[in-house]
Amino acid sequence: MNVYIETGTYTGDTLYRANFPVKYSIEYDYNLFLYCKNRFIKDDNVTMIHGDSGEILEDLLLVTPNPAFVFLDASTSTTSVLIEELEAIMKLSGNYYTIAFDKSTIGKTGKYGEITLEFIQTLVSSVYFVVIYGGSTVMLIQKSGSERSASECSSSDSL
Ligand SMILES: C[S@@+](CC[C@H](N)C(=O)[O-])C[C@H]1O[C@@H](n2cnc3c(N)ncnc32)[C@H](O)[C@@H]1O
């Protein structure tokens, strides 16, 4: 997998460590965005994007290659746009992504109130297995063949 996509850059430490040939990160806070843009200014493989990932992740996914590893980490201490991001990804379920987010996102306030693991499982279950690694990272692993069946569904829906 060659492409890393991150939401919520903060100061860019995970972006720096992510060992991928091509990397994108979205940060909402303008000062943090500028800090990271400057931090990675010499890294041609890093693209920094300023904005709300709940609104612009879908547009980014539409113009980036896949398969990609997607780290959904855009949050404050109490809120997260994880649900908006997952809804955007599910619209593109003909593409191939491996997704991770921090388990501490569970319990934060999201689009429909408190974010629960059960809600996420229901939202993604047609395409992803939900796996919790090491107690702190939740991984969404794409089910084999789901990208083909998702495309078949959307093409027959539009007939
Ligand atoms: C937990 S920190 C990210 C840490 C970073 N991924 C790392 O591993 O070093 C969360 C970041 O998400 C940003 N953020 C919060 N809401 C956001 C949104 N809607 N879109 C993009 N970034 C957001 C915050 O400004 C903060 O920098």
Are 19 and 68 within 8 A, CB to CB? no
**Tens of pLDDT along 101-151?**
999 999 999 999 999 999 999 999 999 999 998 889 999 999 987 654 444
Q: Closest residue (by CA) to atom 13 of ligand 1? A: 8
Q: How far is the CA of 34 from the centre of ligand 1 (A)?
A: 14
SS3 45: coil
- With beta carbons less than 8 A apart as the criterion, state whether 110 and 75 touch: no
Return mean pLDDT, the chain.
Answer: 91
- Of all residues in the chain, the percent with pLDDT exceeding 90 is 85
- In whole angstroms, give the CA distance from residue 79 to residue 50: 19
Confidence (pTM): 0.92
pLDDT for res 134: 80
More confident position, 152 or 26: 26
Note the pLDDT of residue 147.
Answer: 56
Q: Look at the block and give the residue holding tokens 């996420």.
A: 120
Q: Please state, in angstroms and as integers, the Cα–Cα distance from residue 100 to each residue in 20, 34, 42, 143, following that order.
A: 15, 25, 27, 15
- Report the separation in Å between the CA atom of 158 and the middle of ligand 1, taken as the mean of its atom positions: 36
- The domains located in the chain, with CATH, are 3-157 (3.40.50.150)
Question: How far apart are the CA of 81 and the centre of ligand 1, in A?
Answer: 10
* pLDDT class of 83 with cuts at 50, 70, 90: very high
What single DSSP character describes residue 80? B
Q: What residues are paired with 113 via a beta bridge?
A: 110
